[in-house]
Amino acid sequence: MRERLASLGRLWQLAPRRLRQTIVLVLGTTIVLLGLALIVLPGPFTLPLLLLGFAILGTEFAWAAAALERTKAGMAAGARVAKRAAGAAADRGSRIVRRRRD
């Protein structure tokens, strides 16, 4: 199995650059568009699909690698905000419980 993957990697590197870019562009864009569609359609995999699509595009395009880094930074910032908000909500909830006991 490992040998097959290695031979596919060599074959991929031997393919003309334009062909590789075209394949990556079509595949990555399709996955990104599917992720964007899931923002408005019901579906749980919006962010993973966006990250996967940008990661695929980032293998051949520098702008996509930069977009992937911005997306990951934005997700980390959003996670910090959500964590603070959850902590603040828990603090308010414990104060309400203490007041009711008094």
Listed by start position, the domains of the chain span: 2-101
Rounded to 5 degrees, what are φ and ψ at 60? -125, -15
pLDDT of residue 56: 92
24 within 8 A of 56, measured Cβ to Cβ: yes
Q: What is the pLDDT of residues 19-61, one digit of tens each?
A: 999 999 999 999 999 988 988 888 788 888 888 998 899 888 8
* Dihedral sign, Cα of residue 42, residue 46, residue 48, residue 52: positive
Residue 99 clears pLDDT 60, i.e. is over it: no
| Full-model pTM | 0.65
- Separation between Cα atoms, residue 54 and residue 48, nearest integer Å: 10
The 8-class DSSP code of residue 62 comes to H
